[in-house]
Amino acid sequence: MSAHDFEFVPLDGGDLPMASLKGRAVLIVNTASECGFTPQYQGLQALWERYRERGLVVLGVPSNDFGDQEPGTEAEIKRFCEVNYKVTFPMTGKQTVIGDDAHPFYRWVVEAFGEAAAPAWNFHKYLVAPDGSLAELWPSRVEPLSQEITAAIEAVLPG
Protein backbone atom coordinates (compact mmCIF):
# COMPACT_ATOMS: atom_id res chain seq x y z
CA MET A 1 0.00 0.00 0.00
CA SER A 2 0.93 3.63 -0.40
CA ALA A 3 -0.63 6.99 0.38
CA HIS A 4 -2.08 6.89 -3.14
CA ASP A 5 -4.51 4.18 -2.00
CA PHE A 6 -6.51 6.62 0.13
CA GLU A 7 -9.06 9.32 -0.48
CA PHE A 8 -10.12 12.44 1.38
CA VAL A 9 -13.19 14.64 1.01
CA PRO A 10 -12.23 18.29 0.43
CA LEU A 11 -13.54 20.91 2.85
CA ASP A 12 -15.81 22.16 0.06
CA GLY A 13 -17.06 18.66 -0.80
CA GLY A 14 -16.35 16.37 -3.71
CA ASP A 15 -13.55 13.80 -3.80
CA LEU A 16 -9.80 13.98 -3.41
CA PRO A 17 -8.26 10.63 -4.29
CA MET A 18 -4.61 10.67 -3.30
CA ALA A 19 -3.93 8.77 -6.54
CA SER A 20 -4.71 12.04 -8.35
CA LEU A 21 -1.57 13.45 -6.71
CA LYS A 22 0.80 10.79 -8.08
CA GLY A 23 4.00 12.43 -9.17
CA ARG A 24 3.66 15.24 -6.62
CA ALA A 25 5.00 15.53 -3.09
CA VAL A 26 2.28 16.01 -0.45
CA LEU A 27 2.69 17.49 3.03
CA ILE A 28 -0.27 16.23 5.08
CA VAL A 29 -0.90 18.10 8.33
CA ASN A 30 -3.66 17.57 10.89
CA THR A 31 -4.78 21.07 11.84
CA ALA A 32 -6.87 22.83 14.49
CA SER A 33 -8.10 26.41 14.79
CA GLU A 34 -7.78 26.83 18.57
CA CYS A 35 -4.33 25.35 19.21
CA GLY A 36 -1.09 26.96 20.31
CA PHE A 37 0.37 25.66 17.03
CA THR A 38 -2.38 27.28 14.90
CA PRO A 39 -0.02 30.07 13.73
CA GLN A 40 1.77 27.33 11.76
CA TYR A 41 -0.90 27.93 9.12
CA GLN A 42 1.30 30.88 8.05
CA GLY A 43 4.29 28.60 7.43
CA LEU A 44 2.15 26.01 5.67
CA GLN A 45 0.76 28.69 3.35
CA ALA A 46 4.31 29.94 2.70
CA LEU A 47 5.43 26.39 1.78
CA TRP A 48 2.46 26.08 -0.56
CA GLU A 49 3.30 29.37 -2.27
CA ARG A 50 7.03 28.57 -2.49
CA TYR A 51 6.82 24.99 -3.79
CA ARG A 52 3.47 24.36 -5.47
CA GLU A 53 4.80 25.19 -8.95
CA ARG A 54 7.54 22.60 -8.35
CA GLY A 55 5.08 19.88 -7.37
CA LEU A 56 4.28 20.23 -3.65
CA VAL A 57 0.72 19.96 -2.36
CA VAL A 58 0.08 21.06 1.22
CA LEU A 59 -3.01 19.27 2.51
CA GLY A 60 -4.60 20.43 5.77
CA VAL A 61 -6.69 17.85 7.63
CA PRO A 62 -8.77 19.54 10.35
CA SER A 63 -9.25 17.36 13.41
CA ASN A 64 -10.87 17.81 16.80
CA ASP A 65 -8.99 14.86 18.33
CA PHE A 66 -6.62 16.82 20.56
CA GLY A 67 -8.03 19.07 23.26
CA ASP A 68 -11.25 19.72 21.32
CA GLN A 69 -9.34 22.48 19.53
CA GLU A 70 -11.25 22.21 16.23
CA PRO A 71 -14.88 22.45 17.40
CA GLY A 72 -16.24 24.42 14.44
CA THR A 73 -18.21 23.32 11.44
CA GLU A 74 -16.44 22.87 8.12
CA ALA A 75 -17.77 26.25 6.95
CA GLU A 76 -16.41 27.88 10.12
CA ILE A 77 -13.03 26.17 9.65
CA LYS A 78 -12.82 27.36 6.04
CA ARG A 79 -13.74 30.93 6.99
CA PHE A 80 -11.26 30.94 9.92
CA CYS A 81 -8.38 29.74 7.72
CA GLU A 82 -9.11 32.15 4.89
CA VAL A 83 -9.71 35.23 7.07
CA ASN A 84 -6.96 34.74 9.64
CA TYR A 85 -4.21 33.03 7.63
CA LYS A 86 -5.14 33.62 3.96
CA VAL A 87 -5.03 29.83 3.41
CA THR A 88 -5.38 28.79 -0.22
CA PHE A 89 -3.89 25.28 0.00
CA PRO A 90 -6.34 22.36 -0.08
CA MET A 91 -8.10 21.38 3.13
CA THR A 92 -10.12 18.25 3.80
CA GLY A 93 -13.31 17.89 5.77
CA LYS A 94 -12.86 17.35 9.51
CA GLN A 95 -11.35 13.92 10.23
CA THR A 96 -10.51 11.67 13.14
CA VAL A 97 -6.75 11.06 13.01
CA ILE A 98 -6.14 8.74 15.98
CA GLY A 99 -7.57 5.47 17.22
CA ASP A 100 -9.78 2.84 15.64
CA ASP A 101 -12.01 5.46 13.98
CA ALA A 102 -9.10 7.33 12.38
CA HIS A 103 -9.20 8.11 8.69
CA PRO A 104 -7.70 5.16 6.74
CA PHE A 105 -4.57 7.16 5.83
CA TYR A 106 -3.75 7.63 9.50
CA ARG A 107 -4.49 3.99 10.31
CA TRP A 108 -2.13 2.97 7.47
CA VAL A 109 0.62 5.18 8.85
CA VAL A 110 0.36 3.46 12.25
CA GLU A 111 0.10 -0.05 10.77
CA ALA A 112 3.04 0.50 8.41
CA PHE A 113 5.35 2.56 10.60
CA GLY A 114 4.31 1.82 14.17
CA GLU A 115 2.41 3.56 16.92
CA ALA A 116 5.13 6.23 17.23
CA ALA A 117 4.11 7.48 13.75
CA ALA A 118 0.60 8.40 14.92
CA PRO A 119 -0.04 12.10 15.47
CA ALA A 120 0.54 13.02 19.10
CA TRP A 121 -1.05 16.47 18.76
CA ASN A 122 -2.32 19.01 16.22
CA PHE A 123 -0.01 20.05 13.35
CA HIS A 124 1.78 16.70 13.04
CA LYS A 125 3.28 16.59 9.57
CA TYR A 126 3.76 13.76 7.04
CA LEU A 127 5.69 14.17 3.81
CA VAL A 128 4.49 11.81 1.09
CA ALA A 129 6.92 11.32 -1.79
CA PRO A 130 5.71 11.49 -5.40
CA ASP A 131 5.56 7.67 -5.51
CA GLY A 132 3.15 7.57 -2.53
CA SER A 133 5.69 6.39 0.03
CA LEU A 134 6.01 8.11 3.38
CA ALA A 135 9.26 10.08 3.12
CA GLU A 136 9.35 11.75 6.53
CA LEU A 137 7.26 12.84 9.49
CA TRP A 138 7.59 15.55 12.10
CA PRO A 139 5.90 16.32 15.40
CA SER A 140 3.94 19.51 16.02
CA ARG A 141 6.83 21.51 17.41
CA VAL A 142 8.77 21.39 14.10
CA GLU A 143 7.86 24.56 12.21
CA PRO A 144 6.77 24.22 8.56
CA LEU A 145 9.54 26.54 7.33
CA SER A 146 12.27 24.82 9.35
CA GLN A 147 15.40 23.78 7.48
CA GLU A 148 14.56 20.18 8.39
CA ILE A 149 11.24 20.27 6.54
CA THR A 150 12.31 22.42 3.60
CA ALA A 151 15.36 20.19 2.96
CA ALA A 152 13.16 17.07 2.99
CA ILE A 153 10.69 18.72 0.59
CA GLU A 154 13.53 19.74 -1.74
CA ALA A 155 14.83 16.16 -1.67
CA VAL A 156 11.55 14.62 -2.88
CA LEU A 157 10.27 17.26 -5.28
CA PRO A 158 9.95 16.04 -8.85
CA GLY A 159 12.68 17.15 -11.23
Q: Which domains does the chain have, with CATH numbers?
A: 3-60+73-123+137-156 (3.40.30.10)
> Are 59 and 3 in contact, with CB atoms under 8 Å apart?
no
Sign of CA dihedral 39, 91, 2, 18: negative
Rounded-to-integer distance, Cα 125 and Cα 25, Å: 13
Per-residue pLDDT of 58-79, as tens digits, reads 999 999 999 999 999 999 999 9
Q: At residue 39, does pLDDT exceed 80?
A: yes
Rounded to the nearest 10 degrees, how much is the dihedral formed by the CA atoms of 43, 67, 18, 60? -30
pLDDT score of 10: 95
Cβ neighbours for 20, distance < 8 A, ≥ 6 positions apart: none
Q: Which of the residues are catalytic?
A: 35
pLDDT score of 158: 76
Q: Is pTM beyond 0.95 here?
A: yes
